[in-house]
Amino acid sequence: MSTLNDVIKPITGNKRTFILMRIAGLDANLAMGLVGVNRGTYNSWFKNEQFSTLYSQITNLIVAHRDEAMQLLRRNNQLEAVLLEGKMLKRIKEEIESGQLSFTKTHLAREVYSKLMSDLDRVPEGIKVQSWNQKILALVSDQPRLEAVNGEFKEIGIIEAEHPQGESSQESE
């Protein structure tokens, strides 16, 4: 059985969104309103053979692909949201660089920035967050301590540091 994406591949733009909405179970008038087309545009779509053939199969497509249509619509909405967020962040950056803060002072801009920062700061489950000191200690612990003697470096021991797990390394020698 083919996927819905394969079935609707030849249809693009508003026609595609409209078809997906219809397959998801929306009434034609509601779908037209959400897509932003009038009755005349809708009627002209039927001059396209691919659209009219696909639209004549709507009842069967609803039965076979309703959930998949909802998933595709959700992905489209998420992509549009990401693109819109990118435009807003670009505008905020331009305003900060120019010093002319009009949009940046709005509630919407603050919300977008706050959401973005919280998403970036989110730590995946199962990952232990280390403090700054723990990160530094992890980098320097168990590294050989070197000393210059007559122009040559000699290892004089291991830097003793407390590991993030609470274990301390042993001095060598």
Same domain, yes or no: 56 and 78? yes
pLDDT value, residue 119: 62
pLDDT value, residue 137: 65
Same domain, yes or no: 8 and 78? yes
Same domain, yes or no: 88 and 157? no
Give the tokens for residue 164: 């993030």
Domain span at 166? 126-173
Same domain, yes or no: 89 and 39? yes
Same domain, yes or no: 69 and 34? yes
Count of domains forming the chain: 2
Spatial CB neighbours of 12, under 8 Å, sequence gap ≥ 6: none
Flag residues of the chain having pLDDT under 50: 159-164, 166-173
